Chain A
Amino acid sequence: MTDQANQVPSTPTARMFMALGGMAMLSGFLVVMAYQITKPAIELNQRMAVEKMVFKVIPGATQRREFLATKDGVRPADGGEGIPIHAGYDDQGKLLGIAAKGAAQGYADLVHLLYAYDPACACIRGIEVVKMAETPGLGDKIITNADFQANFKALDVQLNEAGDALAQEIVTVKHGSKQHPWEIDAISGATITSKAVGKALNQSAQALMPLLKPHRALIEQGVTGGKAQ
């Protein structure tokens, strides 16, 4: 290439290092700048997305507070270890419900849910699908099918005597054969996705419910104690 013939290479290796080094520095500068500029907007988006979901699954909630549930207790979210939960309160600060996440493998990929737990009735009051890749028209009926959604008006998640697990496992049963409040009636033609919902709820509830029960008062005080989000 005539362009390169006009240059006088000092030491080829030195030039290579200089070029790569210079490029790396420029690249690093651009990336860090982009990261810093967009960081506040991204965090705002994520917070708003979570908030939107929580308020959707806990109707009537206008304030929320994030906690972490662990074996040793429930504490306000501080970025540490624990199962994250979102408590939703109304304008007066009354606890309306607790939202938690669950996920399980569906037909194509994981189905991610947010479900609302009502400590007053020890039951799940509703679910929202956060993310899924199920077949449009088939698996995505879990969102649109009113009968399926009715499963979650009062899904029983009471604890057993010892308080270390659910009294009855949440299980998805064949369409039309639901008899107990801890069962989920599957959508006919979308069994795998319906089962995924059941598995996601069961796994999450089994881990979370035993941790929440002793600390209900703390969560209820959520907004009256500190500032709400």
Chain B
Amino acid sequence: MPTESLSFIFLNAALSNNFVLALFLGLCPFLGVSGKLETAFPMGIATSFVILVSSILAFATNWILTTLEIEFLRLISYIVIIASAVQLVEMTMKKYSPGLFRALGIYLPLITTNCAVLGVALLQTFKSYGFLQSLFYALGAGVGFTFAILLMAGLRERLQLADLPTPARGAAISLMLGGLLSLAFMGFAGLGAH
């Protein structure tokens, strides 16, 4: 089990190795939902919640799989867990906040294919994190994802009013913007390390 401190793991996942801007996980919603701040924030929260739940369940599943020595079923089990976690969040959101449910629309079930969710589960397994370490890793990932998507949404809202050459509008400029954000986040490297 690695010896990194919990605060380091959290900061690492949120900033220095931000899941979207450094690890390239979670890009589809990042580019798809970051058009407006009001949809970006709930998306970030919903994704963070799914990441947290999936991370805990994945840790438990991995423990069972290793004990029974059937690790080759890991990928299939993880993806089933994630799909179930997303179903859970969908049902909860539909019941307690239907407006949000409608606003997110198709993007809510798409959290299942969000690379970041499976990515957290896989990476915590590869790094052999313990339970608390996995928990903080998942929390950091969620916070980092939400932070990145909020930044992107804020920037893109401003961009609507900018005078861009026509070929650049839409996808091209969003990606260039992502590149600049990623460059900025590189400044966080080494954060928390002593």
Contacts and interface: CB of A to CB of B under 8 A. Distances in A.
Are A and B bound to each other? yes
Interface of A: 27-28, 31-32, 35, 103, 105, 107-110, 192, 203
B72 A107 contact: no
23 contacts: A27-B76, A28-B73, A31-B72, A31-B73, A31-B76, A32-B72, A35-B72, A103-B2, A105-B4, A105-B8, A105-B193, A107-B189, A107-B190, A108-B16, A108-B17, A108-B22, A108-B189, A109-B17, A110-B2, A192-B189, A192-B190, A192-B193, A203-B3
Contacts of B72: 31-32, 35
A28 B190 CA distance: 43
Interface core residue of A27, A28, A105, A110 (most chain B CB under 10 Å): A105
Interface of B: 2-4, 8, 16-17, 22, 72-73, 76, 189-190, 193
Contacts of A108: 16-17, 22, 189
Contacts of A31: 72-73, 76
> Chain B: interface secondary structure?
loop
B74 to A, nearest CB: 10
A110 B9 CA distance: 12
Interface core residue of B8, B22, B73, B190 (most chain A CB under 10 Å): B190
Contacts of B76: 27, 31
Given A28-B73, A105-B193, A203-B3, 18 more contacts: A27-B76, A31-B72, A31-B73, A31-B76, A32-B72, A103-B2, A105-B4, A107-B189, A107-B190, A108-B16, A108-B17, A108-B22, A108-B189, A109-B17, A110-B2, A192-B189, A192-B190, A192-B193
- What 3 A-B pairs come out closest when comparing CB atoms? A35-B72, A192-B190, A107-B189
Contacts of A32: 72
A63 B35 CA distance: 61
A175 B71 CA distance: 46
A55 to B, nearest CB: 27
A120 to B, nearest CB: 31
A35 B76 CA distance: 14
Nearest to B4: A105
